[in-house]
Structure 1
Amino acid sequence: MTAPRDPFFPADRSIRARSDEPLEIRRLGVVDYEQAWHLQAELAAQRATDEIGDTVLILEHPSVYTAGKRTQPADRPTNGLPVVDVDRGGRITWHGEGQLVAYPIIRLAEPVDVVDYVRRLEEAVIATVRDAGVDKAGRIDGRSGVWVPGTVAAADPAAPTRDRKVAALGIRITRGVTMHGLSLNCDNTLEHYDHIIACGIDDADVTTLSLELGRDVSVDEMTGPLLTQLEDALAGRLVVADHTFASAPDPTKGLPRR
């Protein structure tokens, strides 16, 4: 199978500028969103001047809504909870405990290929989720993230049958260095998604690995597998393939930045 589009350089080559150096993995536990955001900015500035090497932050956040640059007024929560307006792409989403968050602070190889970087993050998550047992997980053309096709979830026959997102992506690249990243729903609540238009998408749903597999799937269980696949994807050992099973409108296309 081929990638959704050809990358700027060979797919089996590392996308990291310094691929000869190991990734530093920092497991931070549960961290306030804004605190983690400031830490990312500090590390990204240090990475841009080679004060540190490539780093991946692994963490969970206390319950919080975050709004990317394309967030629209109608997307915002109806339950009165605060929103952090952030400098990543995309629209609004929710983070909370039980959701595995990975923030790679990576200097990308030249020429910088943002699409290839996003596809490699997706590929790492797809491989992780499929290995866990959600073997039909893949992409929807026109939308970022990792999706499960519209079938009944194993744990709840009454669950929504529309396509549903199990992992969200939102990134920022400054001076060739990445910030933000991905969140994988493991055993978090979905309650808070009911009060927003998550990622600006109202024709699909959100799910968790626990709901899909009919058992508790914890953040701890998924951290090791995700890190392995992420390292392989960035290095080019896990090559991006076309796992697209549907297409849908891009929820950010043509929208002004806030």
Structure 2
Amino acid sequence: MSNAPREPFFPADRSIRASKDSVDIRYLGEVDYLEAWDTQAALAADRAAGSIGDTILILTHPSVYTAGKRTQPEDLPTNGLAVVDVDRGGRITWHGPGQLVAYPIIKLADPVDVVDYVRRLEEALIKVCRDAGIKDAGRIDGRSGVWVPPDRKVAALGIRITRGVTMHGLALNCDNTLEYYEHIVPCGISDAGVTTMTKELGRDISVEDMTAPLVDALVQALEGELAVADHTFASAPDPTKGLPAQARARRDHSDQRSKGTV
């Protein structure tokens, strides 16, 4: 397994899910970020209680910045756009039209293997990008997400696992603008760039084009039908290593919901 500090807890061809039932795929269209976060939280609680099965939410968001627990003051936007402090890992990123978002609400099998889960999400994204024509899409050791050489991120990941259930997930840049990234330090990484599938391939790649391939690849990766392979082409410093959680990101969700933005 690439980039992992140890071997995964499960063989590559074994499902990482606790359940053998089919995954419920919900296509939500464009959803306000805070509304989607509330939906995730409710579904995750239900999944932990065993009252629903595994679910993947497929959606897009209106333009918004979201700040993970390791976001630093220097990362924050200079353009006045709303920022939502969120309980996922990582630092700041942008969501908006033209970007395909997936939130898996999955009960992971015991023992929970966070590294393997992240690598499986990356593997699904790498497959989607390569099948579309970005043949060199892969990983940078030390940095999550999917990258195009030498240093352009095409898909970002940020997750949270509570009571063995996953929340948050991934965002694939299809044909979105890159303007909003210019006003932040994306994912806390100042020495690399951001790209889209459309920019890399020189033709329009829409959210609609990538939805079915991404859903298929995610399910295959979680089930072990798509095995994690070594797609690492570089290494770089981890932008979250050694950073304390910031007070901004520790504010609870109810406070976020009432205030909306910060």
Give the secondary structure class of the aligned counterpart of 1:35: helix
Residues 1:211 and 2:204 aligned together: no
Residues 1:188 and 2:176 aligned together: yes
Distance between the aligned counterparts of 1:99 and 1:249, measured in 2? 26
Residues 1:231 and 2:231 aligned together: no
Percent identity, aligned pairs only, is 75
Give the AA of the match of 1:52.
I
* Root-mean-square deviation (Å): 0.6
Residue number in structure 2 paired with 1:3? 2
Say which of 233, 238, 244 aligns to 1:256. 244
Query: What per-residue deviation string (whole Å, max 9, x for no partner) do you get for residues 108-163 of structure 1?
Result: 0000000000000000000000000000000000000000002xxxxxxxxxxxx1
Give the secondary structure class of the aligned counterpart of 1:4: coil
Give the secondary structure class of the aligned counterpart of 2:80: coil
Give the secondary structure class of the aligned counterpart of 1:29: strand
Query: What per-residue deviation string (whole Å, max 9, x for no partner) do you get for residues 196-234 of structure 1?
Result: 000000100000000000011000000000111111100
Distance between the aligned counterparts of 2:60 and 2:67, measured in 1? 17
Give the AA of the match of 1:64.
V
Query: What per-residue deviation string (whole Å, max 9, x for no partner) do you get for residues 27-70 of structure 1?
Result: 00000000000000000000001110000000000000000000
Residue number in structure 1 paired with 2:257? none
Residue number in structure 1 paired with 2:253? none
Give the secondary structure class of the aligned counterpart of 1:128: helix
Residue number in structure 1 paired with 2:142? 142
Residue number in structure 2 paired with 1:153? none
Residue number in structure 2 paired with 1:154? none
Residue number in structure 2 paired with 1:39? 39
**In the alignment, is the contact (CA less than 8 A) between 1:70 and 1:89 conserved in 2?**
yes
Q: 5+ unaligned residues in a row in structure 1: which ranges?
A: 151-162
Q: TM-score, normalised by structure 2?
A: 0.92
1:86 Cα deviation (Å)? 0.2
1:3 Cα deviation (Å)? 3.2
1:11 Cα deviation (Å)? 1.3
Which of the two has greater helix per residue?
Answer: 2
**In the alignment, is the contact (CA less than 8 A) between 1:4 and 1:241 conserved in 2?**
no
Give the secondary structure class of the aligned counterpart of 2:88: coil
Distance between the aligned counterparts of 1:85 and 1:164, measured in 2? 25
Residue number in structure 1 paired with 2:131? 131
1:173 Cα deviation (Å)? 0.1
Count of matched residue positions in the alignment of Structure 1 and Structure 2: 244
Residues 1:106 and 2:88 aligned together: no
Give the AA of the match of 2:167.
M
Distance between the aligned counterparts of 1:9 and 1:25, measured in 2? 24
Q: TM-score, normalised by structure 1?
A: 0.94
1:80 Cα deviation (Å)? 1.3
Residues 1:14 and 2:15 aligned together: yes
Distance between the aligned counterparts of 1:225 and 1:79, measured in 2? 34
**In the alignment, is the contact (CA less than 8 A) between 2:2 and 2:232 conserved in 1?**
no
